[in-house]
């Protein structure tokens, strides 16, 4: 009976994870996770989250492909505020079951800061990581109707890049949406500008594709392209960073994705690092020369000025009814918000 449930088979992939002739041993039944030769595991169902800015068409794409009926925002107000897959049926492509995951969009006026959106995403990612469930692919959606990649879009793209990491981006698709039928010359020009844009080139080797008005057939083609990449289990860099300290509390703000979301925090971290280096020099050399003292005071002043500017910015945010982005995430939930 056991042999009827369990089966062992050996597959030699022509191209798996960038390595020729990589051999894969899988012991599986209908519910067991796949076991890969490098020790990683992945659910028999491939999990693919769909990211992007608010209004890029994430939920509409998922509804069209899976047949789900998730509520769709009206362009001014987003309906998706947390990562979720409940209510989204599995999609079968080339014999592979795919679970799509809807995600909250950045630049959402209903949420005080994008760092809060990143916090909500990180909760889901950490929970999946603790369950040894990794993503077999990822989709990032960008509206071709956007006139240009402004500062807000640059920040979101950098955050996406550092959240995923180079390994996960191998199994990623950059999907341009809201195309006209047929495409206009202006849209084609924007696509060409997008392909050459430094921030998009920086997240190579991501694959760039396009989709019109989110028809089912187009969506299936996108998923087929992802499945054809031979997706392998690959945790996001953000998942690894948040889990690196075991039971210790990890600050989301000081992960690579968090620093990309709030760039001024990187200035604080750099100034603090220089200050700590100078203090170490004083301890090692057992001296207090005028030059070291001058540099120490200079960097202390720099740290103070940056923190004072941050304090004034937080005060202004609170005065306007917002919430300053002082968010901490604990690897063991419930999370602690400071």
Residues 230 and 314 in one domain: no
137 part of a folded domain: yes
Residues 62 and 171 in one domain: yes
Residues 144 and 293 in one domain: no
Residues 232 and 277 in one domain: no
By DSSP bridging, strand 172-177 and strand 138-143 are: parallel
By DSSP bridging, strand 172-177 and strand 207-210 are: parallel
Omega prior to 276 cis, within 30 of 0: no
Last residue of a domain, one of 177, 208, 241: 241
Check if the beta carbon of residue 219 is closer than 8 Å to that of residue 212: no
Residues 198 and 266 in one domain: no
Q: Alpha carbon of 64 to those of 77, 103, 224: distances in Å?
A: 20, 16, 15
Work out how many domains the chain is built from and give that number. 3
Return the pLDDT at 158: 87
The domain that holds 174 is classified in CATH as: 3.40.50.300
Question: Nearest to residue 19, comparing CAs of 32, 36, 33?
Answer: 36
Residues 174 and 310 in one domain: no
Taken as a whole, the chain contains a residue count of 338
249 part of a folded domain: no
Residues 22 and 129 in one domain: no
Residues 84 and 108 in one domain: yes
336 part of a folded domain: no
Instruction: Tell me the whole-structure pTM to 2 decimals.
Output: 0.65
Q: Alpha carbon of 274 to those of 270, 277, 285, 309: distances in Å?
A: 6, 5, 16, 19
Check if the beta carbon of residue 198 is closer than 8 Å to that of residue 190: no
Return the pLDDT at 78: 62
> For residue 49, what are its two tokens?
């989250």
146 part of a folded domain: yes
Q: Alpha carbon of 178 to those of 145, 187, 243: distances in Å?
A: 7, 10, 37
Return the pLDDT at 18: 33
Distance CA 30, CA 25 (A): 16
Q: How many helices and strands (H and E) does the chain possess?
A: 11, 12
Residues 87 and 182 in one domain: yes
Check if the beta carbon of residue 317 is closer than 8 Å to that of residue 279: no
255 part of a folded domain: no
Check if the beta carbon of residue 179 is closer than 8 Å to that of residue 211: yes
Return the pLDDT at 214: 55
Omega prior to 334 cis, within 30 of 0: yes
Q: Annotate 24-74 with DSSP letters as a single string.
A: EEEEE-SSSPEE-TTS-EE-SSEEEEEEEBTTSSHHHHHHHHH--------
Residues 205 and 138 in one domain: yes
Last residue of a domain, one of 211, 241, 271: 241
Return the pLDDT at 21: 30
Q: Which domain holds residue 99?
A: 43-241
- SS3 of residue 80 by DSSP: coil
203 part of a folded domain: yes
Question: Nearest to residue 338, comparing CAs of 263, 261, 273, 252?
Answer: 252
Residues 186 and 92 in one domain: yes
7 part of a folded domain: yes
Beta strands in 96-246, from DSSP E residues, in sequence order: 96-102, 138-143, 172-177, 207-210
Distance CA 99, CA 80 (A): 17
Last residue of a domain, one of 207, 241, 275: 241
- Mean pLDDT of each 10-residue bin along the chain, 338 residues long: 30 30 30 42 76 85 86 65 84 89 81 82 89 88 81 84 88 86 88 84 73 73 81 82 65 82 62 68 65 81 81 75 55 48
Instruction: Return the residue matching tokens 């500008």.
Output: 193
Residues 27 and 50 in one domain: no
235 part of a folded domain: yes
């Amino acid at each position: 009976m056991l042999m009827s449930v369990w089966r062992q088979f050996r597959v030699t992939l022509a191209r798996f994870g960038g390595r020729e002739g990589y051999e894969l041993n899988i012991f599986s039944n209908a519910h067991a996770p796949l076991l890969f030769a490098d020790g990683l595991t992945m659910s028999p169902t491939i999990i693919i989250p769909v990211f992007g800015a608010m209004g890029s068409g994430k939920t509409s794409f998922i509804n069209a492909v899976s047949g789900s009926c998730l509520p769709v925002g009206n362009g001014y107000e987003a309906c998706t505020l947390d990562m979720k897959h409940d209510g989204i049926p599995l999609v079968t492509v080339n014999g592979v079951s795919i679970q799509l995951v809807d995600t909250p969009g950045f630049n959402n006026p209903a949420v005080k800061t994008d760092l809060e959106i990143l916090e909500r995403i990180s909760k889901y990612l950490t929970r999946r990581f603790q369950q040894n469930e990794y993503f077999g692919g990822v989709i990032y959606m960008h509206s071709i109707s956007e006139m240009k990649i402004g500062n807000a879009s640059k920040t979101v793209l950098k955050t996406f890049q550092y959240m995923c990491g180079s390994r996960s981006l191998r199994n990623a698709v950059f999907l341009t949406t809201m195309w006209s039928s047929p495409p206009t010359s202006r849209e084609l020009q924007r696509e060409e500008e997008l392909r050459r844009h430094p921030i998009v080139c920086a997240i190579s080797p991501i694959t760039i594709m396009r989709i019109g008005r989110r028809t089912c057939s187009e969506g299936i083609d996108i998923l087929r392209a992802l499945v054809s990449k031979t997706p392998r289990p690959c945790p996001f860099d953000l998942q690894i960073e948040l889990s690196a300290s075991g039971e210790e509390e990890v600050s989301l703000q000081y992960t690579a994705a968090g620093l990309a979301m709030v760039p001024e925090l990187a200035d604080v971290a750099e100034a603090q690092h220089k200050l700590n280096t100078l203090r170490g020099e004083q301890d090692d050399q057992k001296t207090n020369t005028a030059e070291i003292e001058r540099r120490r005071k200079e960097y202390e002043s720099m740290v103070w000025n940056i923190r004072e500017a941050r304090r004034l910015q937080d005060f202004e945010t609170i005065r306007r009814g917002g919430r300053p982005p002082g968010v901490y995430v604990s690897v063991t939930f419930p999370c602690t918000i400071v």
